[in-house]
Structure 1
Amino acid sequence: MVDNMWAIGLHWYGFWIALGVAVWFLLVMSDVRVRALISKDQIINLLNASIIGGLVGGRLLHVAVNWHDYAQWVEVLALWQGGLSVLGSIMGVLLVVWGFSWRNHVALLPLLDSIIVYAPLAQAFGRVGCFSAGCCYGCPTSCLIGVPVCIEGAYGMVHPVQLYNVALLVALFLIVRVLTFFPLPAGMITGVALLGLFIIRFVTDFWRGDREWLNVLPWLSVHQWVSLVGILFCAGGVLWFWLRRQREVV
């Protein structure tokens, strides 16, 4: 466990998460591409369902990876103990959007393309919250950019891996936002955004100090293996969308 170095860290964590959700909501509400697909009321319904899906998915993957920390099943419901998995939240939200599009007869890929643009930015706010709360901390370092944390009663300097994530997520948001100005096939923006999110998690995990390992596959962390599967799947999807577009042009 990491002893929080800020007395109000937990409150700031919740603040940054809420701010990220609010920014995502406002940007989606103001996006003409989204409003061309669904109404404002539907956007609100989708937001509420996505929050639930993100919490459930994030908690389930976190518990699955850290099952040994939960002797009582009732502890699984205590979201304030242990936390969430970002990758699980992503998968939970994707399932919610799929269900929403099916129930409301909305084309899935155009809907995903229009709302996922702002997901990296929202996640960047969440990572700022991680930094303020002292969770998702980095591995020990002696470099000048190291930040102090208290790990199990011992103080030390670690990589500010949460801020690495913030910088990369903002860069990904800018890249995906620029792509929206090009006539890309449906699903391409979603594929690029998800590919970027999985790559960022895979790479930054090398500097994480709280990585979880599998005994049978010890070379990478659990989340890196999950990210690797996501990278291969999304890269294949992006390639497929691109080749299909090339055939249509020819």
Structure 2
Amino acid sequence: MNPVMVDLGIIKIYYYSVMILIGMVIGIFLIYKALTKKGFSEDFITDLMFYTIIFGILGARIYYVLFNLPYYSKNILEIFEIWNGGLAIHGGIIGGVLWIVYYCKKKNVNILKITDVLCVSLILAQAIGRWGNFFNGEAHGAVTTLEHLQSLGIPKFIINGMYINGNYYLPTFYFEFLLDIGLFIILILVRKYVKNPKNGLLTGIYFSIYSIGRFFIEGLRTDSLMLGNLRIARVISIILFLIGLFLIFYKQKDTRTNRLKKALDN
């Protein structure tokens, strides 16, 4: 699979970059529409999104580089070559959330109210971005057989793309794409049909379901970022899963209790 979409000599456009850009544009459009509907100003949305993207990309790259430090310490210039891949979603979440917390505190806006909007668009952008991994021939699993891939019902063009250097590989990027699309649908349905949800419900669902799926998919990958003998993505997934459970159950329970007390007081 050729990762270059357009080659103009000194200028090359990579599929990976295009997929990331498409995901960002669609995500920004959906977020702008949702936050505008909730009454937020254009200036607030613009500043929120611009710096969330900046800190998200920086976080994603720094995270990836730190866990590949032996390589990048000898190839410093490659740190800036993000079009070749190497953006870790967990690092992006950390970087983006840090800015969101700061900005919402500064503007006196409920943080979870914002993240509930952002997570719906983020998971869709993640799904689109995973196809960048496909074109780069990365984020795949172990060597397997053609028969095994066919038995899984994987589309033929993906199977063909997973034939790399004489071997077939498990398309773990595709498994995560399916996870992301499924989670996106769940979040849309919850947002549409759950009446008066507490701030943080959608964020909690995003963290918990994505983390469960990523935990198991990570076990199939051959390019995991490692911390000693630990797959760091699995460690982060456990942490985010617990945060997700807290937001789903404790925060929602707290809301129901407050509503009951309010009703009794009246």
Provide structure 1 residue ranges, at least 5 long, that are not aligned to the other structure: none
Please report how far the alpha carbon of residue 20 of structure 1 lies from its aligned counterpart in structure 2 after TM superposition: 0.5
Q: Return the alpha-carbon distance in structure 2 between the equivalents of residues 66 and 34 of structure 1.
A: 40
Please report how far the alpha carbon of residue 34 of structure 1 lies from its aligned counterpart in structure 2 after TM superposition: 4.5
TM-score by length of 2: 0.82
Q: Which has the higher contact order (CA 8 A, sep 6+)?
A: 1
Q: Return the alpha-carbon distance in structure 1 between the equivalents of residues 142 and 209 of structure 2.
A: 23
Aligned twin of 2:4: 8
Aligned twin of 1:97: 100
Give the letter aligned to residue 46 of structure 1: L
Asked if 1 retains the 8 angstrom alpha-carbon contact of 2:65 and 2:72, the reply is yes
Aligned twin of 1:65: 67
Q: Return the alpha-carbon distance in structure 2 between the equivalents of residues 117 and 17 of structure 1.
A: 16
Does residue 53 of the first structure (1) align with residue 63 of the second (2)?
no
Asked if 1 retains the 8 angstrom alpha-carbon contact of 2:179 and 2:210, the reply is no
Residue aligned with 1:186, SS:
coil
Q: Return the alpha-carbon distance in structure 1 between the equivalents of residues 110 and 246 of structure 2.
A: 21
Aligned twin of 1:242: 252
Provide structure 2 residue ranges, at least 5 long, that are not aligned to the other structure: 6-12, 261-266
Aligned twin of 1:160: 171
Report Cα offsets for 1:78-123 as digits up to 9, x if no partner.
4345612111001111111112212222221212212222111111
Q: Return the alpha-carbon distance in structure 1 between the equivalents of residues 27 and 84 of structure 2.
A: 26
Report Cα offsets for 1:159-178 as digits up to 9, x if no partner.
11111111110110111111
Instruction: Output the aligned Cα RMSD.
Output: 2.1
Q: Between Structure 1 and Structure 2, how many residues are aligned?
A: 239
Seen in structure 2, the aligned counterparts of structure 1 residues 16 and 82 have a Cα distance that, compared at 3 Å, is: closer
Aligned twin of 1:24: 27
TM-score by length of 1: 0.86
% same residue:
25
Asked if 1 retains the 8 angstrom alpha-carbon contact of 2:203 and 2:247, the reply is no
Asked if 1 retains the 8 angstrom alpha-carbon contact of 2:85 and 2:133, the reply is no
Give the letter aligned to residue 235 of structure 2: W
Aligned twin of 1:188: 201
